[in-house]
């Protein structure tokens, strides 16, 4: 098939797709454009390389932990260093290794598997990577300045408050997680829009590969689970930096609040880590069993149910916190129920392999290894659904064993299966199967040698997070065995890395379809050209490429659709340096928060300049803008709806905290002694009227009435500024009455809740003024009305949130 012309976004620049895999790899090897790339495949590689480096750092931390515990009364590291090691190991492996390794596959494979040429927002995709890298580097900067986080990856209050952690260690942890959360949510919105809106014609939702489905579920989990922990981190930041009282028991605060906010995120996070591995295994096993995935629709529904139930089981992490029998019973039942859809996957994978023509490739080994090991992890996990059992095993090494059987036996084995499976597609080179199998068996044996004995250690009473123990406990032998196994895992990972390097240097060239694959990514060259496909691939059903090659159950091959030439070539978005500028600004703000206000302001200035340039870049280059997709909804509108869903959880958490803490202040003025309801009613009416003006602005933009659109956009922004003026007046009056952030619990909750809403109004005003400037410069035409509509969705949401706040804070008794 002759390659099509591919147009970059610069006018008049054309090139053709690489004719061979070697030429494609050479094109990717150019280093000059990696910093500005928006190609989803390059960004996937950037994620993978960065995450593997962080994985090695986390692995080194784990080996030091095991060396410290190799014998009783060991003195390799002291207690503070050990605390820092297990904190950084957990945080690094979860947020900087497993999640971004999954993201590497999301970025590289999802567009290929759905027949798309890129993600919905290529530059936003680049931004998410650079923000991730900034957050990861900032977290590990703590080692260089001698204050690594040491409060555990769970950051329980009140250990993390300024009183008990007075240095910078918790500040590094707290700020880096907020930065990483921004990256994750941006990426999640991007992939939700990509999967829902950019599928090739004929690829219905039920025809999507399982990996795509599990990825979609994960993105919704990220969008909905990250806001609660973000709010918790904001509360912690205000307590540490500004003296608020969210986790101050003496002022009426509740330490359980942190646990609830963290585990509402923390348990869905388990499925954020494991569901991509489930998706990978669901692609690998059918390919190397030469059978369709058994019960694919049921596998899809089970994945959705896992994501849904994942939000209803968080408090089984808190059975020891004293919630009471009713709460314990509810979360116990929910924790048992979630085992059902998980068990469905195990049995369907076994049924897929049953009577299949098995090919024992390295990818198949890791996929089958996941089935075995995750079953063990699941069985040990279901024990914790019983509160009495959980109370005995809580904070013991039994829980450590369970966690690692899930996250290594599950997530890591799935990632290694995916790396082995898609390596030829990504690099154009084959891995050495013999060396790969050696690496697998060493990792498999080392893993079980490391973590299976820890079940026994926990059962006989060894607590987690202790840095030494006495000889008469009887824990020495199995800790020695566990340490030997850990170095076995390290050796196996080293062999895997050696295999990868050898492959890049001298591996056998890979064809486009070396495994006789079933899905669309195998329909293009290895590695794929920059535009992924020369023509949009046809979709004939589930496992479309397999049907194209081998026909259906009766051997009938589908008739290829007629080729439709693309008159103007294939347009790809051009490179952009603004994502890295924005990430640099965010990094400077984080560093400045620990050093100087001046650096915070400088970082904020860099970030704002980058954000404005980033937002306006596509006006000079229309190829950056994407339009209506598969759902018939503009990408930008779908992205905004997704973002607003996340914002509902963000403000819902803030409002729920205010309601939970209402009336618990032990000092200071009573709220209703100082709330000025008449003034706030006036400001509320002003904000509601601004929504009416926003509707008029959109109507004017849609009919091309530029004078009216400018009038109503300016009026909406003015009403927003008036609201902010009322809010500033109210805040000043409260301070005069003696109510500040630090006065009492009401002051803390009130100012943070209304302040963040005010920040959203401020952002909306800036957005409106930007649209007004574009209109004045003649860059807001009828076909640009979608930009006004998206801004309007945001503005109406902010107004609705204020109605809820006004009702609950000012009008409720």
Cα torsion for 404, 408, 414, 418, to the nearest 10°? Answer: 160
Which structure tokens are listed for 557? 């091959």
Phi-psi region of 155 (alpha: psi -120 to 50; beta: other; left: phi over 0): left
**Is 665 a known active-site residue?**
no
Distances (CA, A) of 157 to 166, 168, 181, 464: 13, 16, 20, 18
Cβ pair 104, 427 in contact under 8 A? no
**Is 730 a known active-site residue?**
no
Sort 323 into a burial class: Cβ within 10 Å, 0-12 / 13-18 / 19+: middle
Cβ pair 101, 51 in contact under 8 A? yes
Cβ pair 72, 469 in contact under 8 A? yes
- Report helix, strand or coil for 573: coil
**Is 267 a known active-site residue?**
yes
**Is 41 a known active-site residue?**
no
Active-site residue, from 118, 543, 775, 789: 118
Active-site residue, from 40, 66, 89, 425: 89
Contacts of 127 (CB under 8 A, 6+ apart): 186, 579, 582, 583, 614
**Is 173 a known active-site residue?**
no
**Is 345 a known active-site residue?**
yes
**Is 316 a known active-site residue?**
yes
Q: How many CB atoms within 10 Å of residue 47?
A: 26
Active-site residue, from 40, 42, 66, 345: 345
Active-site residue, from 147, 160, 169, 342: 342
Helix, strand, coil distribution of the chain in percent, nearest 5: 70, 0, 25
Question: How far apart are alpha carbons 62 and 65 in whole angstroms?
Answer: 5
Helix ranges (H only) for 662-779 are 671-674, 677-702, 706-736, 745-776
Distances (CA, A) of 165 to 91, 162, 230, 320, 731: 18, 5, 20, 24, 31
Active-site residue, from 150, 239, 269, 617: 269
Active-site residue, from 82, 130, 153, 802: 153
Active-site residue, from 184, 380, 653, 684: 184
Nearest CA to 364 among 478, 293, 438, 287? Answer: 287
Contacts of 235 (CB under 8 A, 6+ apart): 244, 246, 247, 257, 258, 261, 657, 752
Question: How far apart are alpha carbons 463 and 459 in whole angstroms?
Answer: 10
Sign of CA dihedral 624, 628, 630, 635: positive
Nearest CA to 248 among 597, 788, 744? Answer: 744
Active-site residue, from 82, 129, 213, 271: 271
Active-site residue, from 8, 207, 317, 635: 317
β-bridge pairing 5-7 and 570-571: parallel
**Is 402 a known active-site residue?**
no
Active-site residue, from 42, 199, 240, 267: 267
β-bridge pairing 5-7 and 14-16: antiparallel
Question: How far apart are alpha carbons 745 and 662 in whole angstroms?
Answer: 8
Sort 556 into a burial class: Cβ within 10 Å, 0-12 / 13-18 / 19+: exposed
Cα torsion for 509, 515, 521, 525, to the nearest 10°? Answer: 30
Question: How far apart are alpha carbons 61 and 188 in whole angstroms?
Answer: 29
**Is 534 a known active-site residue?**
no
Place of tokens 């966690």: 403
Question: How far apart are alpha carbons 157 and 170 in whole angstroms?
Answer: 11
**Is 703 a known active-site residue?**
no
Active-site residue, from 117, 260, 464, 710: 464
Active-site residue, from 316, 547, 710, 757: 316
Active-site residue, from 87, 176, 282, 483: 282
Contacts of 545 (CB under 8 A, 6+ apart): 513, 517, 518, 519, 520, 522, 523, 537
Active-site residue, from 147, 183, 646, 748: 183
**Is 642 a known active-site residue?**
no
Question: How far apart are alpha carbons 276 and 269 in whole angstroms?
Answer: 12
Cβ pair 188, 223 in contact under 8 A? yes
Strand order in the sheet with 14-16: 14-16, 5-7, 570-571
**Is 153 a known active-site residue?**
yes
Contacts of 577 (CB under 8 A, 6+ apart): 35, 36
Residues marked active site are found at 89, 118, 153, 183-184, 267, 269, 271, 282, 316-317, 342, 345, 464
């Amino acid at each position: 098939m002759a390659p099509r012309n591919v147009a970059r976004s610069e006018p008049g620049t054309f090139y053709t797709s690489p004719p061979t895999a070697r030429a494609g790899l050479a094109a990717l090897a150019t280093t000059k454009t990696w910093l500005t790339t928006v190609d989803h495949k390059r960004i996937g590689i950037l994620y993978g390389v960065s995450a593997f480096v962080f994985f090695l750092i986390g692995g080194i931390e784990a080996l030091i932990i095991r060396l410290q515990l190799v014998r009783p009364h060991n003195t390799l590291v002291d207690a503070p260093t050990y605390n820092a090691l297990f904190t950084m190991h957990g945080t690094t492996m979860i947020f900087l290794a497993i999640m971004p390794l999954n993201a590497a596959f999301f970025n590289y494979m999802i567009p290929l598997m759905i027949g798309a040429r890129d993600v919905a927002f290529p530059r936003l995709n680049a931004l998410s990577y650079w923000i991730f890298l900034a957050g990861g580097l900032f977290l590990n900067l703590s080692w260089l300045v001698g204050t690594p986080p040491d409060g555990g990856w769970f950051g329980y209050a009140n250990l993390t408050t300024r009183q008990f952690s007075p240095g910078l260690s918790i500040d590094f942890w707290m700020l880096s997680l907020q930065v990483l959360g921004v990256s994750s949510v941006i990426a999640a919105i991007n992939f939700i829009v990509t999967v829902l809106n950019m599928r090739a014609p004929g690829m219905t939702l039920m025809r999507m590969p399982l990996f795509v489905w599990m990825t979609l579920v994960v993105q919704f989990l990220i969008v909905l689970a990250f806001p609660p922990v973000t709010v918790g981190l904001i509360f912690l930041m205000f307590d540490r930096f500004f003296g608020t009282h969210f986790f101050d028991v003496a002022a009426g605060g509740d330490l359980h609040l942190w646990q609830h906010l963290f585990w509402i995120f923390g348990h869905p996070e388990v499925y954020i880590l494991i569901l991509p591995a489930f998706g990978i295994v669901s692609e690998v096993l059918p390919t190397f069993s030469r059978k369709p995935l058994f019960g694919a629709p049921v596998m899809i529904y089970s994945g959705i149910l896992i994501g849904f139930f994942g939000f209803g089981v968080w408090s089984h992490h808190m059975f020891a916190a004293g919630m009471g029998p009713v709460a314990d019973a509810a979360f116990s039942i929910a924790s048992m129920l979630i085992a059902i859809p998980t068990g469905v996957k195990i049995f369907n994978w076994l049924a897929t392999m049953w009577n299949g023509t098995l090919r024992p490739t390295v990818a198949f080994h890791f996929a089958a290894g996941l089935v075995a090991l995750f079953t063990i992890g699941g069985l040990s996990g279901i024990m914790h659904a019983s509160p009495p059992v959980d109370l005995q095993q809580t904070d013991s090494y039994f829980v450590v064993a369970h966690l690692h059987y899930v996250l290594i036996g599950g997530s890591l084995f799935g990632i290694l299966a995916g790396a082995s499976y898609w390596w030829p597609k990504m690099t154009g080179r084959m891995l050495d199967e013999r060396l790969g199998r050696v690496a697998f068996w060493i990792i498999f044996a080392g893993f079980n040698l490391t973590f299976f004995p820890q079940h026994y250690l926990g059962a006989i009473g060894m607590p987690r997070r202790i840095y030494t123990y006495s000889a008469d406990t009887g824990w020495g032998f199995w800790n020695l065995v566990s340490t030997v196994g850990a170095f076995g895992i390290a050796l196996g990972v080293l062999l895997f890395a050696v295999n990868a390097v050898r492959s890049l240097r001298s591996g056998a060239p890979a064809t486009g379809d070396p495994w006789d694959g079933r899905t669309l990514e195998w329909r293009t060259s290895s590695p794929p050209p920059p535009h992924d496909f020369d023509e949009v691939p046809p979709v004939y059903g589930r496992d479309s490429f397999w049907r194209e090659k081998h026909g259906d159950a009766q051997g009938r091959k589908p008739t290829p659709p007629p080729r439709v030439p693309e008159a103007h070539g294939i347009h790809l978005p051009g490179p952009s340096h603004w994502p890295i500028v924005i990430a640099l600004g965010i990094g400077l703000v984080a560093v400045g928060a620990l050093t100087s206000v001046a650096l915070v302001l400088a970082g904020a200035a860099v970030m704002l300049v980058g954000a404005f340039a980033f937002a306006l870049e596509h006006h000079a280059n229309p190829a950056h803008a994407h339009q209506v997709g598969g759902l018939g909804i503009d990408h930008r509108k779908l992205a905004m709806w997704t973002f607003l869903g996340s914002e509902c959880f963000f403000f819902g958490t803030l409002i729920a905290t205010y309601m939970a803490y209402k009336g618990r202040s032990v000092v200071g003025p009573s709220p209703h002694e100082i709330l000025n309801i008449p003034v706030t009613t006036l400001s509320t009416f002003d904000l509601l009227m601004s929504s009416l003006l926003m509707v008029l602005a959109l109507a004017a933009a849609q009919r091309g009435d530029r004078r009216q659109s400018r009038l109503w956009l300016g009026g909406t922004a003015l009403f927003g500024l008036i609201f902010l003026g009322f809010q500033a007046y109210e805040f000043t009056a409260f301070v005069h009455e003696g109510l500040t952030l630090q006065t009492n619990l009401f002051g803390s909750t009130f100012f943070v809740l209304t302040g963040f809403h005010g920040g959203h109004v401020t952002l909306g005003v800036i957005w409106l003024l930007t649209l007004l400037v574009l209109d004045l410069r003649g860059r807001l035409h009828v076909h640009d009305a979608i930009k006004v509509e998206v801004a309007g969705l945001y503005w109406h949401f902010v107004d609705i949130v204020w109605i809820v706040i006004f009702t609950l804070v000012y009008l409720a008794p």
